A and B are shown apart, each in its own frame.
Chain A
């Protein structure tokens, strides 16, 4: 019995593990998202979380700092990325890479993966060299590529799109594993295949190498590492007590050269190995954990323990509150489309139903009313300036209109969430397409749109929907959809990336200009 109790005690989770778990739960308090298969769209997403957590995860209640940074840089053609830089500085100055040790769910996942009992690869020269790779990734994929494309007013969050295993796991796998999102499988192609293989490779690396992603690839860790010398909270060495014996560095599994340097995640595991008790975990000059506390008189230790207990009680109350708040049942949204029947067909968003009529204001003047175009195939594209695939596919719609002007009417309707000067954006291109604005978000909702863009709807000459799907389309696909709408045959299936047609290159016709004003859509959530 005693042996068993000893074993259990030895395997109890540490304070750090509990804090990691707490942070992961709090970041993903929107638990019902995993059941409904959709993401949280409330206003707390205005805040960036300190740790790495994809904002496309169904549970996420805040924004991913790295995704936000890339998108802010990608939008820097119109406005400077002040907010995200300020937030990252605030996190870095206060906590630095303590975030990695305590507040990052991805760090926690990697530590769990490393617990899989296999032979492990320790640190050495190779890992020390590889630890510089994350700075290259930060420079190229997070800064340079988004900035270059920002000059062309084309948002490219390159790290998200080409590398990020967190987005693949929390976002893609998180959404696809819910049967509600069955239709999203048809969007998958080369991008998913490549990112899935990257995800598996990183998972395997983390089994064998302690925190492989953090050490070699994570640009967020690289950013927080820049604040190593000034971070307020973290593991600090009492230099006069240090004998430079190197036991701390020898014990550490990260590629540190010194305790507290840019590779240190402030896990505190070296505190107990220091023979001169020179290491402690501090907030400024106040010791939070360390030998000073262990050596303190009993009443003081009691006080520290009481403070910790109180902190935990407060934290658990916050978590409970968050879980209740984010998971309260919401009223099912009323169907905005009245139960009507047109030509014996019910009006609705599904293929085979009569398309709901709408009128939207067109940029440059005038209005677009769907019912006025009865007798011709109509293609409606929902897009936004901040949506990468949307901007990439606009040239295909333009080309289709140019080639089939007599057979088809196309309208590209911008989402009600306007972050940019849309007219200013369009002035940079010579699109012939009519562009409109869904001012209230009702049009996209009436076609079943939710939190995903782009969305394309094809309506035949009789006003019946023949295609309605989220995801990008190519020119060949659009032609095939047009033909199907004209002939009544089923169109070939969608998977955009794999078609043989190359993506036409749209080159801006003028240098990007700063947007004179920011337009605001009326609603923040759908």
Chain B
């Protein structure tokens, strides 16, 4: 049984992906068929609707067998899995946690550790610079109202994707690289701390944070906001939107 389980799990994973691909493909294929030249009149208007209940139903029927196999596979894998002993959770301690723990115990930090701390600070300064640059470049587009004037939202979204997404990707990549570099630094620092004289750590102290005061203030602000909202008609707006179906919002068109 134990040997069978990884195979079953793997097969379920493959079937998950396959079924998802088939579903997406059917959907895209319906759209492509509906927009084929034969279905458009001279003015570019569809002669027959792109989607019909019958067509969607028929296409879903073609997925009935893979869906049935998938359901059986899930049931079989779940059954086998339930008979296996529960796997103990991995304690998964990160290098950062390990380091924090060690640091609280060492009597004195060696020079190598101090060096790693400086290095990490520099890494974050460099990352902050990259993030600021990315935010500024994306902001140049996002905060320029003239980019959001056209009512042709498809074009606006396309432009936004072109101007903002690359900077968002660069920012996320920069954070990833910084995290990697810092993790390597944590590990090196842990190594440097090994063998150092230790002391009994003091119990941790709660950092003072005026949560109660802040919460009370924010509660008061929230209530004022709600009262003002009721008075300015915001409550009625919510109701009107909620009792009508925004066809575009849910993707109908």
Q: Are A182 and B53 in contact (CB under 8 A)?
A: yes
Most chain A CB inside 10 Å of its own CB: which residue of B56, B151, B154: B151
Contact string, B170-186, partner A, CB cutoff 8 A, digits 1/0? 00100110011001000
- A197 interface hit (Cβ, 8 Å): yes
Residues of A within 8 A of B97 (CB): 244-246, 249-250
Q: Are A41 and B243 in contact (CB under 8 A)?
A: yes
Contact string, B44-84, partner A, CB cutoff 8 A, digits 1/0? 11111111110010000000000000000010011001100
Residue of A nearest to B91 (CB): A250
**Also in contact, A133 and B50, with CB within 8 A (given A496-B253, A520-B236):** no
**Also in contact, A161 and B253, with CB within 8 A (given A83-B225, A239-B206, A249-B97):** no
**CB proximity to A under 8 Å, residues B203-239:** 203-206, 209, 211, 214-215, 218-219, 221-230, 232-239
- Whole-angstrom distance from the CB of A165 to the nearest CB of chain B? 9
Q: Are A502 and B152 in contact (CB under 8 A)?
A: yes
Residues of A within 8 A of B223 (CB): 86, 90
- Interface with B: A187-195, A323-331, A332-340, which one? A187-195
- A510 interface hit (Cβ, 8 Å): no
Residue of A nearest to B174 (CB): A129
- A82 interface hit (Cβ, 8 Å): yes
Q: Are A71 and B34 in contact (CB under 8 A)?
A: no
Residues of B within 8 A of A497 (CB): 154, 253
- A388 interface hit (Cβ, 8 Å): yes
Q: Are B172 and A129 in contact (CB under 8 A)?
A: yes
- Whole-angstrom distance from the CB of B247 to the nearest CB of chain A? 6
CA distance A208 to B180 in the complex (A): 23
Q: Are B251 and A245 in contact (CB under 8 A)?
A: no
Q: Are A167 and B221 in contact (CB under 8 A)?
A: no
CA distance A216 to B5 in the complex (A): 30
CA distance A81 to B226 in the complex (A): 10
- Interface with A: B21-29, B110-118, B187-195, which one? B21-29
**CB proximity to B under 8 Å, residues A158-206:** 160-162, 164, 167-168, 171-172, 175-176, 179, 182, 184-197, 200-201, 203-204
- Interface with B: A115-123, A341-349, A365-373, A430-438, which one? A115-123
Contacting A495 at CB < 8 Å: which of B17, B92, B237, B253?
Answer: B253
Q: Are B204 and A240 in contact (CB under 8 A)?
A: yes
Residues of B within 8 A of A77 (CB): none
- B164 interface hit (Cβ, 8 Å): yes
- B240 interface hit (Cβ, 8 Å): yes
Question: Interface residues of A toward B: which range?
Answer: 35 or more
**CB proximity to B under 8 Å, residues A61-101:** 62-64, 67-68, 71-72, 75, 79-87, 89-90, 93
Contacting B249 at CB < 8 Å: which of A161, A196, A470?
Answer: A161
Q: Are B204 and A232 in contact (CB under 8 A)?
A: no
Question: Interface residues of B toward A: which range?
Answer: 35 or more
Residues of A within 8 A of B198 (CB): none
CA distance A276 to B240 in the complex (A): 52
- B246 interface hit (Cβ, 8 Å): yes
- B129 interface hit (Cβ, 8 Å): no
**Also in contact, A93 and B222, with CB within 8 A (given A129-B179, A185-B56, A244-B100):** yes
Q: Are B250 and A524 in contact (CB under 8 A)?
A: no
Residues of A within 8 A of B17 (CB): 204
Q: Are A149 and B148 in contact (CB under 8 A)?
A: yes
Q: Are B9 and A118 in contact (CB under 8 A)?
A: yes
- A145 interface hit (Cβ, 8 Å): yes
Residues of B within 8 A of A395 (CB): 151
CA distance A167 to B246 in the complex (A): 10
**Also in contact, A498 and B148, with CB within 8 A (given A82-B225, A140-B164):** no
Q: Are A247 and B251 in contact (CB under 8 A)?
A: no
**Also in contact, A386 and B51, with CB within 8 A (given A187-B247, A191-B251, A204-B17):** no
- Whole-angstrom distance from the CB of B166 to the nearest CB of chain A? 13
- A500 interface hit (Cβ, 8 Å): yes
Residues of B within 8 A of A520 (CB): 236
CA distance A149 to B47 in the complex (A): 33
**Also in contact, A499 and B241, with CB within 8 A (given A129-B179, A189-B31, A230-B214):** no
Residues of A within 8 A of B249 (CB): 56, 67, 157, 160-161, 164, 167, 171, 388
**Also in contact, A389 and B247, with CB within 8 A (given A417-B240, A492-B45):** yes
Interchain residue pairs with CB less than 8 A apart (19): A10-B86, A63-B241, A67-B242, A79-B233, A83-B228, A85-B229, A126-B176, A140-B164, A190-B253, A191-B252, A201-B24, A230-B211, A249-B94, A389-B253, A472-B248, A494-B46, A501-B44, A506-B151, A518-B236
Contacts A86-B222, A133-B168 known; list 9 others, CB within 8 Å. Answer: A10-B86, A83-B234, A93-B222, A119-B13, A126-B176, A144-B143, A148-B145, A161-B248, A247-B93
